[in-house]
Amino acid sequence: MKNPVSVLLMMLIPLVMTLLIGIVFGGQGGEKLPVIKVLLVDNDRGIVSGFIKNGMRQDTLANMIDLETVEAEEGEELMSEGKASALLEIPRNFSDDFLEGKPVELRLVKNPSETFLPVIVEEIVKTAVVALGRARVLFSGPTDKIRVLIEKERWPTGNEIEGILEDSKNKITLAGGYLSGSIVGFKTETVSDISDDERDEGFNIFAFVLPGSMVFGLLFISEITLRDLVREKGAGTLQRILVAPLRGRHVVTGKVMVTFCVTAVTCVIILFVSAIGFGVNLGRPLALLTHFTGVILMCTGLMALFYGFISSERAADAVMSVVIIIMALFGGSMVPFEQLSDTLQAVGRFSPVYWAANGFKQIFILGAGVEDIALNLIIVYLIAIFTLIPGTILIEKKFTAKG
């Protein structure tokens, strides 16, 4: 309490990071996700490329994507000028090769100057690729008949159409929930109960950025608070405390509890400021409280475990910042986790920061309940248990062995 400057600075880090990133991407509380400009180079101009084009202009996708058909050179030029989020190129003979069952490939070019929007386009295209591939396997019989009709270059007879429909009837019934309106479709699942009013509020960029930066700041706050142990050991204060009728575990447990309390209070302040200043919806109280408690225990436990092996402030200066930054980097605190490559995402799932931040993100953005973030809670609490208890024991042995 006499010297709160370091804790206050660490508390400001996630708030400032969230504010700056939100300003860069034009985010305001309740601001809707902007329409995504996508260029389409259709070198095929066939029946399947038509399905892709029409699918991206229907229903929900029509509200998300501004699809503009361009020639190859024009598309490359517009992308080089940064006038679109992504360019999708359909190669020549795509429809013929697809209907014949040959391997086909779509080319997607993402705008490197944008962070989130090209990722959304990439996920949409990935979904379309999966849907097309499964549809080709599922409807192999009807598509082979359609290919024959296309090759004959004439209108099909009534009997031919009836045969194709009869062949497709059962398969369409089975796949109806997954493929509708177009061969490229989406299966929607409700992860949580969110009212229509909440959906209309739109995408809040601050709620997307805050979780990662907040966990990053909380780790540093736990580290700063627990560092008192090495400071007091170096100054001789710890020896004088141990002269009192106390056991080492009392002193160490007190320090760990103070670390938990300071980190928790700081987190409450960050959440309060984010809700008032950034318009972040804090979601369901039970889910927030459960995950909040687990994350604070995890931050305290991780720092306790590390300090169980560190005996001087100089060693703490050399090691702790590097460890926290590495966990935060792979966990999505500095770069959105969705922007990392597949390899880095696979590595990032071993970072405690990922599970803590991902849980908060689901609560803030999706309104997730306890059941929706069950895996996050299990991992966060397991990390807390397996670091807090051993860490406290190690600290007691290291700092009170000669007491």
> Between helices 313-331 and 352-361, what is the axis angle to 10°?
50
What are the strands, taking DSSP E only, across 45-200?
65-69, 86-90, 107-110
From 66-70, 200-204, 272-276, the region with the lowest mean pLDDT:
200-204
Give the pair of three-digit tokens for residue 263. Answer: 């980190």
Give the pair of three-digit tokens for residue 351. Answer: 């970072």
Q: Read off φ and ψ for residue 288, nearest 5 degrees.
A: -65, -45
pTM > 0.75? no
Region 19-23: mean pLDDT is: 69
DSSP 308: T
Q: Which band of pLDDT confidence, cut at 50, 70 and 90, is reported for residue 31? A: very low
Q: What is the pLDDT of residues 340-392, one digit of tens each?
A: 777 888 899 999 999 999 999 999 988 889 999 999 999 999 999 999 999 99
Q: Which residues contact 263 (CB under 8 A, 6 or more apart)?
A: 218, 221, 222, 225, 296, 299, 300
Region 321-332: mean pLDDT is: 91
**All domains of the chain, ordered by start, with CATH?**
5-26+202-400 (no CATH), 36-196 (3.40.1710)
Q: Which long-range contacts (CB under 8 A, 24 or more apart) does 266-273 make?
A: 266/7, 266/10, 266/11, 266/217, 266/218, 266/221, 267/214, 267/218, 267/292, 267/295, 267/296, 269/11, 270/11, 270/14, 270/15, 270/210, 270/214, 270/217, 271/214, 273/15
Instruction: Tell me what pLDDT residue 184 has.
Output: 36
